[in-house]
Amino acid sequence: MTPRTEGSTDGSTQGSTEGRLDGYAALLTGAGRGIGAATARRLASEGAAVLVTDLDVGRASHVATEIREKGGIAESLACDVGDRSAVEAAVAHAVAAFGRLDTLVNNAYAEHQDAPLFEDETDEAWARSLDITLTGPYRCSRAALPHLVASGRGAIVNIGSVNGEQDFGGHAYSAAKAGLAGLTRTLAGHAGPRGVRVNLIAPGTIRTDAWAGREAVLERAESLYPLGRVGEPDDIASAVAFLASRDAAWITGITLRVDGGLLAVNTGFRAAISEVSEAP
């Protein structure tokens, strides 16, 4: 029997492809809330056993419990991706619990608010952002790769950002996400002949707890998106499930923009020139 959950973060079943990941085992980092939590639920809903890891083990445990209550297979574990031993322990836990590892989702990140002047940025803040956001996925991928090779259908899905492709602020965060896109390509070239696919998703603005108290900012941002809204965690979770599955068996080394058209269409500029052209 392969347990499954029903639905997504809002309780709906829209977009679900039940059973597509039957027999798969996945490890997710930073999965205690937001995109990571939605992705854990989505992978479980499609049949995967998931190890939900987070720096905050309480959050990870809550997500895993929700999945089990809906009939899915899930365990939780505290994991600091900045600690090599913790990363290796998480990979070992997943393999021991599920007997295999097919999918790694690198979602954990760290960022800090830019100093008003670039010259006032500190080495400590810069190093922290890069260590968690870029070197963390490096550590996790290194530890997981032998098991992903052994699975015969291994996949790594990195969660990047549109910040890695265009300026939206955040010096260290943007540099780390751009670096993660580069690592995705080089690792895809290395791991492809070994049967492992490596891809990256670049989300636009996603409505998560990180925006708590700034709902007015999200409302203003909606007008910049051609599709008229900011993203939801489930939008990213759906893309992860696709890239993890055999539906994406001939896709590797790509950056998949899941951004509501933000990078393809300069909505603000179009509105500005439209106003100019309509002026008397």
Catalytic residues, which ones? 173
**Dmax of the chain from CA atoms?**
71
Q: Say how far apart CA 206 and CA 199 lie, in whole Å.
A: 19
Residue environment code for 104-134, b if the CB has 16+ CB neighbours within 10 A, otherwise e: bbbbbbbbbebeeeeeeeeeebeebbbbbbb
Q: Say how far apart CA 138 and CA 132 lie, in whole Å.
A: 10
Q: Say how far apart CA 237 and CA 211 lie, in whole Å.
A: 18
Report whether 176 contacts 133 (CB < 8 A): yes
Report whether 275 contacts 268 (CB < 8 A): no
Instruction: State which amino acid sits at residue 94.
Output: A
Helix/strand/coil for 206? strand
Tokens 């070992």 locate to 92
Residue 213 is classified by DSSP as: T
Residue 114 is classified by DSSP as: P
Residue 180: φ, ψ to 5°: -65, -35
Q: Say how far apart CA 132 and CA 27 lie, in whole Å.
A: 17
Q: How many CA atoms lie within 13 A of 12 on its CB side?
A: 6
Q: Say how far apart CA 118 and CA 75 lie, in whole Å.
A: 42
The two tokens of residue 269 are 């500029």
